[in-house]
Amino acid sequence: MTDAPTAILADDEPFMRAALRERLAQLWPELRLLRECEDGIEALQAIHRLEPQHAFLDIRMPGLTGLQVADALQGADTRVVFVTAYDAHAVEAFEAQAVDYVLKPLELPRLAKTVARLREALVPPPQRPADDWLQVAMGGQVRLLHVDEVQYFESDSKYTRVVAPDCDGLIRVSLRELLARLDPACFMQVHRGVVVNRRHVRGVHRDGEALVLEIKGRPERLRVSVAYHSLFKAL
């Protein structure tokens, strides 16, 4: 359940907290409520301590108002939804970058739209291909290299080594970040620290129980981790 979405809710009226809790459980059963708060100070402390993804806040609460709590969260990752009986603060709410502004009494169809919006925001954007051109540091110069020319990438601490027929240098991007942007139809990971361009693989060979890749025009052989042997089932 560690990947379940999380939230806190804050309202000084126990009946309204219970009503919101029940409706959220109905509309979003996987949502984990980390804390229910009775005032704005408690809500702000809970958000700082628990770092929930969402906070459902009443506008008028003792200690701090919901708007004051939201203002104190500028730059934080917690998404704020105001649930209030007062419609006069909508402009202030959206200036505080609230995701939504839901009026009491709570209506299930209206809250369902809020939940749908929050769930949609949790879905990661589709992966995009890497930029066509890479700026590769080679000693004291920077080489502009098209991604199709790259034979393989190799992890090098917080940098990534870029190997091409006439280029061997570094880019300031981790292999993990790079792999998320590369086209999987062209690039495949064959080792925890190596991603290979399929276009430049000349052959795959057995070396005892191990598999090694032969890269066009290069003397070195790249070992394939056991976890990736399934990519070469024919061998």
- At 54-80, the pLDDT tens digits run 999 999 999 999 999 999 987 678 999
- At 156-200, the pLDDT tens digits run 877 899 999 989 999 988 888 888 888 888 899 999 899 999 999
pTM of the predicted structure, to 2 decimals: 0.56
User: Residue 233: pLDDT band by 50, 70, 90 thresholds?
Assistant: low
For the cut 50, the answer to whether the pLDDT of residue 1 exceeds it is no
Angstrom distances, CA of residue 159 to CA of 34, 136, 154, 164: 38, 11, 9, 16
User: Residue 27: pLDDT band by 50, 70, 90 thresholds?
Assistant: very high
Query: Where do the CATH 2.40.50.1020 domains begin and end in the chain?
Result: 133-232
Any idea what the Cα angle at residue 82 is, between residues 77 and 87, rounded to 5°? 145
**DSSP string across the chain:** -TTS-EEEEE-S-HHHHHHHHHHHHHH-TT-EEEEEESSHHHHHHHHHHH--SEEEE-SS-SSS-HHHHHHHTTT-SPEEEEEES--TTHHHHHHTT-SEEEESSP-HHHHHHHHHHHHHHHSPPPP-PPPSEEEEEETTEEEEEEGGG--EEEEETTEEEEEETTEEEEESS-HHHHHHHS-TTTEEEEETTEEEEGGGEEEEEEETTEEEEEETT-S-EEEEPGGGGGGGTT-
- At 199-231, the pLDDT tens digits run 999 989 888 888 999 999 999 999 999 888 877
In the beta sheet, which residues pair with residue 187?
A: 197
Angstrom distances, CA of residue 172 to CA of 154, 155, 176, 196: 12, 11, 12, 18
List the structure tokens of 71: 């203002």
- At 72-129, the pLDDT tens digits run 987 678 999 999 998 888 878 877 778 899 999 999 999 999 999 899 888 765 555 5
Q: Which residue has the higher pLDDT, 232 or 186?
A: 186
pLDDT of the residue at 126: 55
Q: Specify the length of the chain in residues.
A: 235
Q: Could you name the CATH architecture of 133-232?
A: Beta Barrel (2.40)
Query: Where do the CATH 3.40.50.2300 domains begin and end in the chain?
Result: 6-122
The CATH code that applies to domain 6-122 is 3.40.50.2300
pLDDT of the residue at 2: 53
Provide the 10 A C-beta neighbour count for residue 189: 19
Provide the 10 A C-beta neighbour count for residue 191: 17
